Amino acid sequence: MKHMLKYILKRLLIMVITLWVIITLTFILMINIPGSPFNSDQSSNETVQANLEAHYNLDQPYYIQYLLYIKSIVTFDFGPSIKQPNQTVNDLLSRGFPISFELGIITIVLAVISGILVGIIAALRHNGFLDYLTMGIAVLGISIPNFILATLLIQQLAVNLEIFPTATWRSPAHMVLPVLALATGPMAIIARLTRSTMLEVLTQDYIKMAKAKGLSPWKVIFKHALRNALMPVVTIMGTLFAGILTGTFVIEQIFAIPGMGRYFVESINQRDYPVIMGTTVFYSAFLIIMLFIVDVVYGILDPRIKMHQKGGK
Amino acid sequence: MKSKKEIEYTQSAANVPDEWFSWKERDKEKLEQVSRPSLSYWQDAWRRLVKNKMAMLGLIFLVLLTIMAIIGPILSPYEVNRQSLPDQYQPPSMEHWFGTDNAGRDVFTRTWYGARISLFVGFIAALIDVTIGIIWGGISGYKGGRTDNIMMRIIEVLYGLPYLLVVILLLVVLGPSLGTIILALTITGWVGMARIVRGQVLQIKNYEFILASKSFGTKTFRIIRKNLLPNAMGPIIVQMTLTIPSAIFAEAFLSFIGLGIQAPFASWGVMANDSLGAILSGNWWTLFFPAFFISFTMFAFNVLGDGLQDALDPKLRK
């Protein structure tokens, strides 16, 4: 228990440092932007200029600005937008994030469940037809970028066959194509990983033992094998979250979904620096906290994990 | 004369008469002979890689793609960026093998030009990752102790940073160009490689031949270069084959959100992004060729990486 606590505290410390690095990085980049966004000639709008000055305390020296910047982020205030005078990043977040979150959650649930199932089937049919078929599709799934898959899906299923609507986010039918485009890559990664760890686990003595006891194949797989086979899947969850999140940028853009990712890409194209920085910090913080949760969950699930690593493997 | 052992043996098998046995002379020459030629680690790995059909398919595709990336734009009579509005949206024909795009540019020329950019970005990014990763991971793993602790904590912090978000942030500030894209991709990209190198070094440094080398008084740097690295090369190469497609993907992704290579360069991501509208109007070829080549290049690297992983794994050696 003491080790567990120490492990969690260590991860927590690393998380805080990582958060601090990304916040500091955005601050340094912000004051170094060529033709600074705070230049009055770039943002001729007076309201905007006033907003910026109020938020970033531009009359203060850099170190005070820096401290106030950190304070504003800790208190969840991500600053104003340059291009849309009466908008703040918080406004955009509260409008767009729920939609992106919905898209992300559906994608993750679909990818994890179907990925694990496909992985198990492939492992049970090792070197069989189903194994080759699913793993062949999985390699393709990893190789086709999500934005390419999205355009292919639109062209085939929405324009040619007219099965699904092409864009926007209104009904479950609208969700099918974007979720499919976004989930295929992670699904393929999870399926491949589950298969390879499953194959390893299935050769172990305790599985033979469970079979020898006369347990049903279902029980052996789901109760004994899968539990251990899923450990590596937990470790890559952090990376998968990051991939899906950045994936939402292009998917929302292509499908005209009014989520956060779309605002983000728009702000990049319009060089709306405060929105870019604010969103980046928000997204980074979100992902870093997710990574922390994944690490802690992994620590709880795997009793073998060394709680106090010291320069060893 | 029979030896003592032979006498004992015949006596124990009491009922079998001696005459039934004949003594076969051992051929000392033959004993020393090796039954088949010994293969070095690399020869064996290559032999196994060749047997893997998918990996070879990937390798052949990549070799052809590299050749076309070099000579493709020269073969074509069209300039990469020469716009010609009368030739807008020509379907594939004898003049334009892959058709033309919204500005009447030749898609065939642009595809091979895009291959140059994608392969260049992929290889250079992977090369820089490997260099930094080997130095960082090598020192961290070999030194151990406090050095390792500090270096690993730095890696853990960098590993936590969301890769593509940092890349986007840097490109927004630095402005997108070939150089800044490679810089942004490598600035945190080497972390994965460093972790792998460190893991390898930690494992190998405890082997006896390293101890032997040390006891001869070999210098640390020489041990790392001559003994550690060659033995850690397998996983490093595998990681490298998997770094290249992720760099190619990142470049295409960035182009797609407007942070990619700018004109006069053409990249597959830029081409795909430009032709998004065209797909609704039925000019499929403008999207098909860049999409096909991005996907198939990533596919080729992935299957080659899988094949190399199996081929270079000493545990699977037969």
- Mutation test of the interface with chain A: which of B172, B242, B270, B306, choosing the one with the most A Cβ atoms within 10 A? B172
Distance of alpha carbon A151 from alpha carbon A153, whole angstroms: 5
| Contact list, A269 vs chain B (CB under 8 Å) | 257-258
CB-nearest partner of A144 from B168, B172, B295: B295
Which is higher by pLDDT, B239 or B90?
Answer: B239
Distance of alpha carbon B163 from alpha carbon B185, whole angstroms: 8
Size of interface A-B (CB pairs under 8 A): 125
Q: Write down the mean pLDDT value for chain B.
A: 81
The closest of A227, A76, A86, A103 to A177, measured between CA atoms, is A103
CB B261, CB B267: distance < 8 Å: yes
Q: For B39-107, where are the E strands, in sequence order?
A: none
Q: Where are the domains of chain A?
A: 2-74, 93-301
In the prediction, which pLDDT does A7 show? 83
- Mutation test of the interface with chain A: which of B257, B276, B313, choosing the one with the most A Cβ atoms within 10 A? B257
A 233-262: CB under 8 A from B: 242, 245-246, 249-250, 253-254
Measure in Å the smallest separation between the Cα of A139 and chain B Cα atoms.
7
CB-nearest partner of A268 from B172, B253, B276: B172
pLDDT in tens, B234-246: 888 888 888 888 8
Residue with tokens 């398919």: B57
Domain A93-301 has CATH 1.10.3720.10: yes
Chain-chain contact of B294 with A148 (C-beta, under 8 angstroms): yes
Measure in Å the smallest separation between the Cα of B16 and chain A Cα atoms.
46
In the prediction, which pLDDT does B14 show? 63
Residues of chain A above pLDDT 70, percent: 88
Question: What's the mean pLDDT in A293-300?
Answer: 82
CB-nearest partner of B199 from A25, A33, A313: A313
Question: In this structure, which amino acid lies at residue A16?
Answer: V
In the prediction, which pLDDT does A309 show? 47
Chain-chain contact of B299 with A33 (C-beta, under 8 angstroms): no
Rounded to 10 degrees, the C-alpha dihedral B15/B19/B21/B24 comes to 160
In the prediction, which pLDDT does A306 show? 53
Check if A203 contacts B (Cβ < 8 Å): no
Whether residue B124 is predicted with pLDDT greater than 90 in this model: the reply is yes
Q: φ, ψ for residue B100 (rounded to 5)?
A: -130, 160
| pTM score over 0.90 | no
- Mutation test of the interface with chain B: which of A147, A152, A192, choosing the one with the most B Cβ atoms within 10 A? A147
CB-nearest partner of A311 from B149, B245, B306: B149
B127 pLDDT tier (thresholds 50, 70, 90): very high
CB B267, CB B251: distance < 8 Å: yes
pLDDT in tens, B238-274: 888 888 888 888 888 888 888 888 766 778 888 887 7
Which is higher by pLDDT, B89 or A289?
Answer: A289
CB A89, CB A275: distance < 8 Å: yes
CB A82, CB A272: distance < 8 Å: yes
| Contact list, B167 vs chain A (CB under 8 Å) | none
Measure in Å the smallest separation between the Cα of A188 and chain B Cα atoms.
12
Check if A21 contacts B (Cβ < 8 Å): yes
Measure in Å the smallest separation between the Cα of B302 and chain A Cα atoms.
7
Chain-chain contact of B298 with A277 (C-beta, under 8 angstroms): no
Tokens of A31: 């004051």
**Contacts of B68 by beta carbon, 8 Å cutoff, 6+ apart:** B112, B115
| Contact list, A34 vs chain B (CB under 8 Å) | 173, 175
Residue with tokens 């930094």: B132
Tokens of B140: 């961290």
Distance of alpha carbon A176 from alpha carbon B136, whole angstroms: 44
| Contact list, B256 vs chain A (CB under 8 Å) | 147, 250
The closest of B260, B272, B279 to B110, measured between CA atoms, is B272
Which is higher by pLDDT, A99 or A308?
Answer: A99
| Contact list, B176 vs chain A (CB under 8 Å) | none
In the prediction, which pLDDT does B94 show? 67
The residue of chain B with its CA nearest to that of A276 is: B169
| Contact list, A33 vs chain B (CB under 8 Å) | 172-173
Measure in Å the smallest separation between the Cα of B85 and chain A Cα atoms.
25
Kindly report which listed range (A105-119, A154-168, A250-264, B82-96) carries the lowest average pLDDT score. B82-96
